[in-house]
Structure 1
Amino acid sequence: MKRSLSLLAGVLLLAAAALPARAAGSDAPDIPYTRFRLPNGLTVVVHEDHKAPIVAVSVWYHVGSSYEPAGKTGFAHLFEHLMFQGSEHHKDEFFRPFELVGATDMNGTTWLDRTNYFETVPTTALDMALWMESDRMGHLLGAIGQKELDEQRGVVQNEKRQDENQPYGRVFEDLQANAFPANHPYHHDTIGSMADLNAASLADVKQWFRDYYGAANTTVVLAGDIDVATAKAKMQKYFGDIAPGPAVPRPQEWIAARTQSTRGTMTDNVAQVRIYREWNVPPIGSDDLSQLDLAATVLGGGKTSRLYQRLVYKDKLADDVSVSPMHFELASMLLLQADVKKGVDPKQVEAAIADEWRKFLADGPSADELERAKATVRASVIRGLEKVGGFSGKAVTLAEGQVYLDDPGAWKKDYERTMAATPQTVRAAAQKWLARGDYTLTVVPGKVEAKDMAAAAGRPAAPGKPAPKLSKVDGFEAGKSEVDRSTGVPQVRQFPELSFPALQHGKLKNGIEVVLAERHAVPLVHVQALFDAGYAADQGRKLGTSSFTMAMLDEGTKDLDSVEIAKRAERYGAVISAGSGLDSSSVSLNALKSELQPSLALYADIVRNPAFREADIARIRGQWLATIAQEKTQPTGLALRTLPPLLYGKGHPYAIPFTGTGTEDSIKSLTAEDMRAFVRDWIRPDNMKLLVVGDTTLAEIIPQLDAAFGNWPMARIALPKKQLTAVADPARPRVFLMDRPGSQQSLILAGDLAPSTKAPNFLEIGTMNGAFGGTFTSRLNMNLREDKHWAYGAGSFIPNAIGQRPFMMYAPVQTDRTADAVAEILKEARAVIGPKPLTDEEIAKIKFNDIRALPGEFETGGAVMGMLTSIELYDRPDDYVQTLKGRIEAQTDDAVEAAAREVIRPDALTWVIVGDLSKIEQPIRALKLGEVQVIDASGKVLR
């Protein structure tokens, strides 16, 4: 279940025939499209983008959880899962054919007003994708039986447990129940109740399909390497014979705004008090919502916002605060969230919020605040033009407009309204919608009892609910089938070649190396200063020094404070970030080409002249400690903080929490001098490479980079060396248990050490991991999710590292199946290196996917930058990507099976299991895996 919050607004009724989108201004972003409708009522939107040989297929059904009647909550989402179980002519996992052709960005999501399914495929695999989507749309019921329903019911219930097992994971259920009356379609959350999921019958879910999955209730967006004529022919061929379906009773706009303020309290396994406030505001398509988007940015859109300035900077009452809108079809929600600083009375935070809210309602935004907010929106829209599909690409933007507003170009009208907003229009909308009628939820730390897990009753039913209106189906009629489906899924025998930019090299006046990959699809330039440092550079220092120091770089320079830095970045539409990974530290710039020069000047100032002022250190230290405390309430955070130190042993550079945040004691003791020493040792021109991707040339960028960095003097001290010593296997398996009372699930993490990313058999290790636990149809996921349905997902992963890498198997499983799941993971690990090695088919599947996904993997500048960074970090040749296909093909089955035996060592595993020990400890001990110890959140042995 995911949310999609694209900028959408305005209503433009278009004719059913194909109609090109209206032309945009020359300096404005645009997504040209053509829309047409099949005779059966199915709406198709086509956007041509030929920068890569890929097509995004996005199928949107106009039904979500708001259509569920009482007693059937969770049906829309449960049915989404069932749609991946195969169809009448493909009785297998839906993902399997897509893995063989290299599909990317593939998933399905359900939300309040819609259910969508999407994938991005090589252009040559479009027929296969359309056959698959149309087969489950038109030929599903015969493939759904009680077995499939029971399987996915279990998976969905574990998804619910997994969500609720996270800190603040039950908040949105409470917010919806109290935001909307009991008879409002938005009163309940999308995942539904356990009782309703248990009660779902096979007849119920089949009727859901008949009621809502007709062609006339569907929009398909094709975005990418396709033209309109081809789209028309293929859509008619594959979808033209599907019935329109019945008229759908469409819920109507009902904002249900409140006039009174109400309150609630929730106890949760959290590290700090969090305050939520929610207002009901107009739906997608309204002018006021555009104004409220801007109001939210000014009030709580980052460190320059009014609430952040007041609560975090000035009064020091909160570690974080934000305000953001959530756009929906019947009504929208504007949500404030504030993390109360430890030891602070929440009432003080609420009083400060109320004071700033009152001032804003009285005066509205200043001209400068509004212009910076607009600049941020414009830059965000331009960045959104890079990607055709996925969770938030251009296909999503067009689909949202069509489904909700009958206008694929609705986002553009919203954008134009945003750019035309004035302080007066923003203030007027805020006064109308944000002056009264909020709901406040305070989440407090404490033990979660079973009674606390019950859903909030929320608001009672209310009068004024508008009657639904039937959707149009008259005049729509299905045609004859043009496809012989008895022959099965169309085979894809040809695949497009990868297009990856040739790397170009240059040098600045002082010798700093520059590597450029040109990409001219959108007017963006990415720059990354890459330093050989990272978490491993904390060796001999206080843990967390690397991450904390890098996070401090944009908190102030010699001439600019953190607020002025943020304001300038907003004006330029630039995104600047700094951070560390395991082996490297970096500072990144994502800039509009039109604002590259001032953005580079600001960026260089941040890299070269950090100030490390005491007030800024104190502020970030408080937020950092709060983050560590939050990590210790998250099952995954707990495991990733604990397992690496156990794997590598005391004193190793990697024997640290893999979150990079360090420990409370180390962060409390960090000083400005510690940070200056880190910068002096590691953040220096002779330890830096400048990587550039985007809309520029070497001749253009070198002078600009020279102006920013060319006079940075080289360091006079030797560069430190990291000691990445080899670590031997433990003599026997080890088991560490961590108590998290009340957990609905246990988080199982088991690991050992694998060879470096630089190892000669790096590809074989990756192929092995993909087949064993790294893909949807891998052995671990198919066992624990699809076969046993004890988990929402399970798998294995191997983070990249210059030294030995951790190989980790993971599974968040329902509490009563913890020991069973541990036994299954161990069984799979023993089998893959023993009696049940990876098959030719399993290995070929991963190789095919890795090769055929290449054309779609480098669609964005960010993806190219990620590969460029890997090339530099792991000493790969410039043509690494261009020659990757041949090296993947050259892998032998024997070499992949050998990689499995090298990496997966069941008798050397270290297990970290986080859960309710009162329920799981004895069953785990009974497995006799090895020595069992109980540890606390810091890794200290308790018993």
Structure 2
Amino acid sequence: MIRSALSLATAGLLLTVSSAALAHAQTPPASAKRDAAPLSQLVADVDIPHQGFTLPNGLRVIVAPDHKAPVVAVSVWYHVGSKDEPAGKTGFAHLFEHLMFGGSENSDQSWFTPMQSIGATDLNGTTYFDRTNYFETVPRGALDTALFLESDRMGHLLGAVTKPKLDVQRGVVQNEKRQGDNQPGGLIDYDVYATLFPEGHPYHHTTIGSMADLDAASLETVKGWFRDHYGPNNAVLVLAGDIDLPAAKTLVTKYFGDIPRGPQSHPAEADVPTLSAPVHKDFKDQVANTTIARLWAVPGMLSKDAPALDLTASVLGGLASSRLDNMLVRDEKLAVSVSAGFEEFERVGVFEVKAVVKPGVDPETVGKRVDAIIADLISKGPTEAELQRAKTDDVANTIRGLESVGGFSGKAVTLAQGAVYANDPAYYKERLASEVALTPGEVQQVAQKWLSRPVFSYTLSPGERSGDYEEASGVGAGAATGSAPSYYRAPLAGEHPMAKKPAHLATPMERAASDAAETAPQAAGAGGGVDRSKLPEVGEIADLDFPDVEHATLSNGIPVVFAQRTGVPVVRVAVDFDAGAAADPRDALGTQSFMLSLLDEGTTHLNAVQIAEEQERLGATISASGNMDRTGVYLSALTPNLAPSLGLLADVVRNPAFRPADVDRVRAQQLASIAEETKNPTGIALRTLPPLLYGDKHPYGVPFRGTGDPAVVARLTAADLKGFHGKWLRPDNAMIFVVGDAKLSDVMPLLEKSFGDWKVSGAKPVKNFDAKLPAQTNRVLLVNRPNSPQSLIFGGEVMPIQGTDSIEPLMQANDVLGGSFLSRLNHDLRETKHWAYGVQGFIYRVENQVPYMIYAPVQADQTGPSIAAMDEDMKAFLGSKGVTDTELKRTISGAILELPGQFETAADVLGGLESNARYNRPDNYYETLASRYRSMTATQLDAAARKAIDPSKITWVVIGDAAKVKPQLDALNIPVETTGMPGASDE
């Protein structure tokens, strides 16, 4: 189902209730079956050419040349994770991952300081049950620097690991644990793993570990963990991108060759346990809707049964056309959402089925239906058609993921995973071949074998939380540093979301935080033939060569913007409309997102199930999302299936049916989504702050997630939705962007057939931005969320600038103030005071009046002081302590050098084209940035920031426990108003 992207950077979904100028739906009737390329042809496209070698010290190296962009992904995987932790040392693997960002003997400074300077993108590190990995994508000319740093922390680390660093990172990890625990339902994973895997089983405890064990971690035990597990013989290094094997051998030997072997690590063995009898638990928490779940421990990723378990999950609840979706959500309307998944670990796996119960429905009834649907699949197996769609969907997603050289799912990750777990970098091919060869009978046998065993079931329902937060004892730094929540996302512990996406793709939260320790002077040292007294000089790095942009126009006047990007057989298409959340009627907020959610729930030719099945059969994905100003309907299509995929896209865009039954079903889903937002701190903040900044009559004065007002959603009719669609989604209000493995001459006839005859009558709609803004004053609105161990601070003001202005100096100034991990705000609250895991100030670039916003989750007992500290930091930066020469050099260098990595994929380029159109920029805009950055001075950056940002005009929204927080806020000597959580009575 199309679900609007609800991140802050893509918030806003189209809406208007009037029905002027309805567009004519004149697409050729969609056939029930469109020709699709055979699965065998798609499987043949899944390929990563690579070579490898092993150093004498045991380091395995894999090289995957990919010369589409002048960047190289560096990925280092250590074969150790939380399953390998002995009793009393839970959380150690994750803790050590954090420590390795804190500097090494010959670069004793934050890992991110040199990484930002060399323009690293997709920079991160994660820990899970079976491995710890570190990765970054760097310009080819900076590869020496990246390899120097990776080798220095592999072979020259312990001299730089000190007690103060350990205490800082211990506190960070404990804060990360608090962040995850504080989320609605955040305590359940502890019960899941403790129930499925008995005491003493390597997977019994979660990766984040326990507060007590983290408190007990001493400097010597931590160093012992490194000595035992982090030798080169327990690691795999992958280089993917603009490099070949001879160059890789020379560089890797130079930087890693002198590192001695370590003890051979032996990853813990583990059997798949079976419960002796079914187990059921009831949980309560601050959730809006009841969830029921079914879980089993199953075999891991190398099992011969893993491919069949994966397909079983897809058929059951993974596909948009899954059985649970069709039966529970679409037909019987018992649930608002369902899912099924197979999470694969090295030794074991977890098979999970979930259903969010529709409000007013008995959870026990839903549970019985889930059990019956599972039993039917076990008894009869999947159909051939279901299996074919599941296979095609998986192959298509694999192809899309392999376009990136690095990151979380690119070539480097795929090869490293195979090498670490299966001792075969090309294991992905074996796995895919096994999967596509499976028959319905074979899948049925595996499902029966594993899912007919005793189940662990639970129900999570609204109420007072079951269970308590585990707190630090005060022995370690956690008690002193407090609760500084990370951007925690189970199950990956220890993510450092420093990865810099292009500004048009990254959300403020994704760019907000990463991990490192305090900056310290660089230490001299020696290692083999490498001069480790200084970082290598960065080689020549050419400025960005953005793909050539071509323009065309359909016969009905729709502009087409095209750029070619080869590498994988995928074409991405965006049909953009000048609408966005700003098009929402002031008295009918939520119409836009409601309408968008219905686009793929039925056209005049196909119903919801048929649309879902067509996408899966073609290996295509259709989605809708928007920002404040624009709304887009997006297609990702496999090149061999582009023609039928475009036909399906056109049908979805042009001919939505808005059948009453579908409207009622999606209405329940949207109301449930709104209810969940009002329980989540970030959701509350995004609903609360914008109307305070802009007023309720301004187009931007709407909740940023676009889901709207529940009272409005409850009363909207099919006619309202059709009227809004006709008013805003029309050909004279559209642009089409195409990027991928094709030629414009091949694409235009297909677009003409799908969209060229689309006609419209009546006047084009116009958004009105004349509403007067409220006075911008310093004030606090405290939203009382009792029993919160942390507070979410979300502040903002409307700046005297437009998004279409040239604001590059302001953006670079904010990189220093709040826009990066190394920024003043983040360094103060996280690195110096240890009150927050990540703080970010960001420019939310809408087309008209642009807001400056600050996102700061902080420990509850430092809420007021955190606001005071940020205010002081901003005033100092905007006063006498502006951008320093060091900060200027770092931010400008990084901004220039990261450009090639920002536009590696077709999706990146597509976003760039859309941004150029949105802000009225020329096609070569991104190619001019390097020279513009080089001309910037600290004086220019300071002037831009001082003109735009005024701390005395910031409105602060604080979501936290009023009993703990209100006295701290009163001490700030600014007006404070207290309100209850949305939907609750004020306290």
Band of TM-score, shorter chain: over 0.9
Per-residue CA shift, 1:844-902, capped at 9, x if unaligned? 32221111011111111111110011011111111111212122222232221112112
SS at match of 2:927: coil
Checking the alignment, whether the CA contact within 8 Å between 2:570 and 2:741 is kept in structure 1 is: yes
Checking the alignment, whether the CA contact within 8 Å between 2:543 and 2:927 is kept in structure 1 is: no
**Of 531, 534, 539, which residue of structure 1 is paired with 2:585?**
539
**Of 418, 426, 440, which residue of structure 1 is paired with 2:457?**
440
Unaligned segments of structure 1, at least 5 residues? 1-22, 456-479
Corresponding position: 1:882 with 2:899: no
Q: Which amino acid aligns with 1:803?
A: N
Match of 1:778 in 2: 823
Corresponding position: 1:818 with 2:863: yes
Match of 1:655 in 2: 701
Per-residue CA shift, 1:811-839, capped at 9, x if unaligned? 11111221221221111111111132121
Per-residue CA shift, 1:384-409, capped at 9, x if unaligned? 12001011111011111111111111
Per-residue CA shift, 1:504-551, capped at 9, x if unaligned? 011111111111011122111111111000110013451011222122
Q: 1:887 to 1:727 in 2, by over 3 A?
A: farther
In the TM superposition, 1:277-292 aligns within 5 A as 277-292=294-309
Measured in 1, the distance between the counterparts of 2:43 and 2:843 equals 46
Corresponding position: 1:800 with 2:817: no
Q: CA deviation at 1:628?
A: 0.8
Match of 1:62 in 2: 79
Q: Mean Cα displacement is larger for which, 275-284 or 80-89?
A: 275-284
Q: 1:531 to 1:351 in 2, by over 3 A?
A: same
Measured in 1, the distance between the counterparts of 2:625 and 2:41 equals 38
**Of 502, 508, 527, which residue of structure 1 is paired with 2:554?**
508
Q: 1:25 to 1:442 in 2, by over 3 A?
A: closer
Match of 2:915 in 1: 870
Q: 1:439 to 1:452 in 2, by over 3 A?
A: farther
Measured in 2, the distance between the counterparts of 1:151 and 1:791 equals 12
Q: 1:380 to 1:119 in 2, by over 3 A?
A: same
Checking the alignment, whether the CA contact within 8 Å between 1:557 and 1:605 is kept in structure 2 is: yes
Corresponding position: 1:483 with 2:529: yes
Corresponding position: 1:227 with 2:244: yes
Checking the alignment, whether the CA contact within 8 Å between 2:804 and 2:848 is kept in structure 1 is: no
Measured in 1, the distance between the counterparts of 2:384 and 2:773 equals 62
Unaligned segments of structure 2, at least 5 residues? 1-39, 473-525
Measured in 2, the distance between the counterparts of 1:862 and 1:760 equals 25
Q: CA deviation at 1:27?
A: 2.8
Q: Which amino acid aligns with 1:114?
A: R
Measured in 2, the distance between the counterparts of 1:26 and 1:937 equals 50
Corresponding position: 1:768 with 2:813: yes
Checking the alignment, whether the CA contact within 8 Å between 2:79 and 2:235 is kept in structure 1 is: yes
Checking the alignment, whether the CA contact within 8 Å between 1:177 and 1:187 is kept in structure 2 is: yes
- Larger RCO (alpha carbons 8 Å, 6+ apart): 2
Match of 2:638 in 1: 592
Match of 2:19 in 1: none
Match of 2:544 in 1: 498
Measured in 2, the distance between the counterparts of 1:520 and 1:248 equals 41
Per-residue CA shift, 1:257-316, capped at 9, x if unaligned? 335211122221111111222111111112211011001100001331111112111221
Q: CA deviation at 1:454?
A: 9.0
CA RMSD of superposed structures (Å):
1.8
How many residues matched?
895
In the TM superposition, 1:336-735 aligns within 5 A as 336-448=353-465, 451=468, 481-713=527-759, 715-725=760-770, 730=775, 732-735=777-780
Match of 1:469 in 2: none
Match of 1:746 in 2: 791
Measured in 2, the distance between the counterparts of 1:729 and 1:892 equals 34
Q: CA deviation at 1:937?
A: 3.5
Measured in 2, the distance between the counterparts of 1:449 and 1:387 equals 42
**Of 34, 37, 47, which residue of structure 1 is paired with 2:51?**
34
SS at match of 2:305: helix
Checking the alignment, whether the CA contact within 8 Å between 2:560 and 2:736 is kept in structure 1 is: yes
Checking the alignment, whether the CA contact within 8 Å between 1:290 and 1:418 is kept in structure 2 is: yes
Q: Percent identity?
A: 49
Per-residue CA shift, 1:184-223, capped at 9, x if unaligned? 1110001111111111111111111111111111111111
Per-residue CA shift, 1:640-692, capped at 9, x if unaligned? 11000000012001111001111111111211111111112111111111111
Match of 1:141 in 2: 158
Measured in 2, the distance between the counterparts of 1:281 and 1:757 equals 54
Match of 1:197 in 2: 214
Q: CA deviation at 1:481?
A: 4.0
Measured in 1, the distance between the counterparts of 2:783 and 2:111 equals 37
Q: Which amino acid aligns with 2:302?
A: G
Measured in 2, the distance between the counterparts of 1:178 and 1:398 equals 33
Q: Mean Cα displacement is larger for which, 393-402 or 932-941?
A: 932-941
Checking the alignment, whether the CA contact within 8 Å between 1:550 and 1:580 is kept in structure 2 is: no
Checking the alignment, whether the CA contact within 8 Å between 1:631 and 1:637 is kept in structure 2 is: yes
SS at match of 1:882: helix
SS at match of 2:129: coil
Q: 1:249 to 1:29 in 2, by over 3 A?
A: closer
Per-residue CA shift, 1:57-102, capped at 9, x if unaligned? 0001111111111111111111111101101111110111110111
Measured in 2, the distance between the counterparts of 1:884 and 1:251 equals 50
Q: CA deviation at 1:378?
A: 1.3
TM-score calculated relative to the size of structure 1: 0.93
Q: CA deviation at 1:444?
A: 1.7
Checking the alignment, whether the CA contact within 8 Å between 2:393 and 2:616 is kept in structure 1 is: yes
SS at match of 1:883: helix
Q: Which amino acid aligns with 2:357?
A: V
SS at match of 1:107: strand
Q: 1:438 to 1:119 in 2, by over 3 A?
A: same
Checking the alignment, whether the CA contact within 8 Å between 1:547 and 1:580 is kept in structure 2 is: no
Per-residue CA shift, 1:442-496, capped at 9, x if unaligned? 21211237647699xxxxxxxxxxxxxxxxxxxxxxxx94334442111214213
Match of 1:305 in 2: 322
Match of 2:497 in 1: none
Measured in 2, the distance between the counterparts of 1:731 and 1:129 equals 45
SS at match of 2:458: strand
Q: Which amino acid aligns with 1:654?
A: Y
Q: Which amino acid aligns with 2:318?
A: G
Match of 2:518 in 1: none
In the TM superposition, 1:192-341 aligns within 5 A as 192-341=209-358
